[in-house]
Amino acid sequence: MDYDAIVIGAGISGLYQLYRLRELGMKVRVLEAGTGVGGTWYWNRYPGARFDSESYSYAYSFSKELLEEWNWKEHFAPQPETLSYLNHVADKFDLRRDIQFKSRVAAAHYQDETSSWDVTLEDGSKYSTRFLITAIGPLSAPTMPRIEGVESFKGQSCHTARWPHEGVDFAGKRVAVIGTGATGVQTIQEVVKTAGHLTVFQRTPNWCAPLHNGKISADEMREIRAGYPEMFKRCQETFACFLHTPDPRATTEVTPEEREAFFEKLYGDKGFGIWQGNFRDVLVDKTANGLLSDFVARKIRSRVKDQKVAEKLIPKNHGFGTRRVPLETKYYEVYNQPNVELVDINETPIERITPNGIKTSDTERAFDIIIYATGFDAITGSFDRIDIRGAQGQRLKDKWQGGPKTYLGVQVEGFPNMLMLMGPHTALGNIPRSIEYNVEWVTGLIRYMREHNLTRVDARPEGVKSWTDHVIALGQGLLSNEVDSWMTGINRNVEGKQVRTVARYSGSAPAYRARCNAVAADGYRELALS
């Protein structure tokens, strides 16, 4: 066998998994499609890309030395800072020697006779491994819109997640942005700073809230560093590992004045507080959610001068926080600039991309640059891109028809020795916090197997049924599960992703960890080990 473990992906999960498996003395290879480490932060180089979680809460917590030596420069670090952080991690722990770049995995087939996996790269190279660990990310398969003529455009165009390393110069150019999710919003507010003219093509407006970013002074960084133990402890206790956690009060329990003051405070606070630290019922109760949505709608109306444009920017088909909230810096003010146009493509649909620009039902606009901020085939999409076949040659894609079925989000029955990091049905939230836990649990399982001379681990059908049913039950009553978004498995640009599925664990992170810890403490008896 070539390797004890192959890890697919050198992002935040893959790097940490490599570090932990090396400690077990294993022969590990990380296969990475890109030319460098960083995963999400390697690929998403679009202008304005940055953290939406506080930099310090997003970093690795496992190494005291790393925490001591790394200084964050901004409360919400821009992509280049994060990428250099992850490069620093790779260098510090000498990770690169086990990472093979420019190695996109095309297929992984389980071998029943040897309890191992054969992994094939796009270039045809083949490797065998005992364990196959997927660290491929929930948002890593970018999707282009299904619009006719995309290939015919003569100017420059690209998807935000495939941004050219040399950057793009917008100075004086006519730029189009299609898509207004978290990525589109960050892109728009940055591109507008230099573009000659900007046109935003919006299909569904999203509820955005201010980021309130700022530089971190040396004194502040000292304070942050001194507070690390307490901060990481807090992240372990909150619902989704963010610094913010819901307020115990219900929205209508307080007077209208108190409510307004609380919303106002949250709107003025940094980061996800208004989403993750709001009244406890805003994401489950329609009345509560309506009150919050009204508040944010009033903010949008007050920030956008032209009220017709403001109305277009206010979502009408979903409430605040029922989709991922894009955090913004002067996003709404962008639409007050004379060189910016908002095109609501529900009113005037895009008919086609032409060699010169974009043709909507009413007119054709000429562009120099088209930016596709059109999102990802989320959660299962990164798995679908690889031909993964388990025992008896069954395909993972077939197994997950109608929605993923997993055991703790880590295993799939019939796919022995395949362990997923940030797979479907795991706690996402503040992702690096969830990743660290996920990696440590997987490492614990592998350690146990090695200590007990076990070579095969599979999920049991009853374990999968019980976890999948639990995940589905947890999602019931959540307003976000009644709305189309990547979080409910919808992507109108992908065949077969038109029906909502439950691919996300929406319970609390502490409950998830408690469940996984109990399985480990019980000697992994819920798993089929041999």
How far apart CA 139 and CA 116 sit, in angstroms, is 27
Q: How far is the CB of 139 from ligand NAP (least distance, A)?
A: 5
Q: How far is the CB of 493 from ligand NAP (least distance, A)?
A: 5
Establish if 373 lies at the interface with ligand NAP (CB under 6 A): yes
Q: Which residue lies nearer to ligand NAP by CB, 325 or 420? A: 325
Q: Which residue lies nearer to ligand NAP by CB, 52 or 384? A: 52
How far apart CA 35 and CA 422 sit, in angstroms, is 22
Establish if 486 lies at the interface with ligand NAP (CB under 6 A): yes
Residue of this chain nearest to ligand NAP (CB atom): 181
Q: Which residue lies nearer to ligand NAP by CB, 52 or 413? A: 52
Instruction: For residue 246, give the amino acid letter.
Output: P
Within 10 A of 4 (CB to CB), how many other CB atoms are there? 18
Q: How far is the CB of 86 from ligand NAP (least distance, A)?
A: 14
Q: Of these, 13, 61, 140, 183, which contacts ligand NAP (CB under 6 A)?
A: 183
Within 10 A of 214 (CB to CB), how many other CB atoms are there? 11
Instruction: For residue 403, give the amino acid letter.
Output: G
Contact criterion met (CB below 8 Å) for 399 and 519: no
Enter the tokens of residue 399. Answer: 């197994």
Q: Which residue lies nearer to ligand NAP by CB, 45 or 405? A: 45
459, containing H or E segment: strand 457-459
Number of residues in the chain: 530
3-state secondary structure of 376: strand
Q: How far is the CB of 350 from ligand NAP (least distance, A)?
A: 6
> Which residue bears the tokens 């093979």?
100
Q: Which residue lies nearer to ligand NAP by CB, 271 or 475? A: 271
Q: Of these, 375, 381, 424, 463, which contacts ligand NAP (CB under 6 A)?
A: 375
Quote the DSSP letter at residue 139. S
* Residue 31, strand partner residues: 8, 100
Establish if 184 lies at the interface with ligand NAP (CB under 6 A): yes
How far apart CA 49 and CA 42 sit, in angstroms, is 11
Establish if 506 lies at the interface with ligand NAP (CB under 6 A): no
Instruction: For residue 361, give the amino acid letter.
Output: S
Which of these ranges, 142-150, 226-234, 329-337, 470-478, lies near ligand NAP under the rule CB under 6 A? Answer: 142-150
Contact criterion met (CB below 8 Å) for 136 and 8: yes
State the DSSP string of 167-211.
----BT-EEEEE--SHHHHHHHHHHTTTBSEEEEEESS----EE-
Burial class (CB in 10 A: 0-12, 13-18, 19+), 218: exposed
Which of these ranges, 84-92, 112-120, 436-444, 486-494, lies near ligand NAP under the rule CB under 6 A? Answer: 486-494
Which of these ranges, 126-134, 176-184, 261-269, 275-283, lies near ligand NAP under the rule CB under 6 A? Answer: 176-184
Q: Of these, 45, 50, 173, 504, which contacts ligand NAP (CB under 6 A)?
A: 50
Enter the tokens of residue 409. Answer: 């989000």
Binding mask 311-330 for ligand NAP (x = CB under 6 A): -------------x------
Q: Which residues, in sequence order, are CB contacts of 86 under 8 Å at separation 6+?
A: 11, 12, 15, 37, 38, 39, 41, 42
3-state secondary structure of 246: coil
Establish if 360 lies at the interface with ligand NAP (CB under 6 A): no
Binding mask 250-289 for ligand NAP (x = CB under 6 A): ----------------------------------------
Establish if 353 lies at the interface with ligand NAP (CB under 6 A): no
Which of these ranges, 64-72, 310-318, 403-411, 485-493, lies near ligand NAP under the rule CB under 6 A? Answer: 485-493
Instruction: For residue 522, give the amino acid letter.
Output: D
Q: Which residue lies nearer to ligand NAP by CB, 186 or 322? A: 186
Enter the tokens of residue 284. Answer: 């489950």
Q: How far is the CB of 290 from ligand NAP (least distance, A)?
A: 21
Q: How far is the CB of 99 from ligand NAP (least distance, A)?
A: 24
Q: Are strands 174-178 and 197-202 parallel, antiparallel or unpaired?
A: parallel
Which of left, alpha, beta for 462 (phi over 0: left; psi -120 to 50: alpha)?
A: alpha
Enter the tokens of residue 496. Answer: 């077969």
Q: Which residue lies nearer to ligand NAP by CB, 139 or 292? A: 139
Establish if 493 lies at the interface with ligand NAP (CB under 6 A): yes
Binding mask 327-346 for ligand NAP (x = CB under 6 A): ------------------x-
Q: Of these, 11, 145, 271, 409, which contacts ligand NAP (CB under 6 A)?
A: 145
Binding mask 440-459 for ligand NAP (x = CB under 6 A): --------------------
Q: Which residues bind ligand NAP (CB under 6 A)?
A: 50-52, 139, 145-147, 178-184, 186, 201, 203-204, 324, 345, 373-376, 486, 492-493
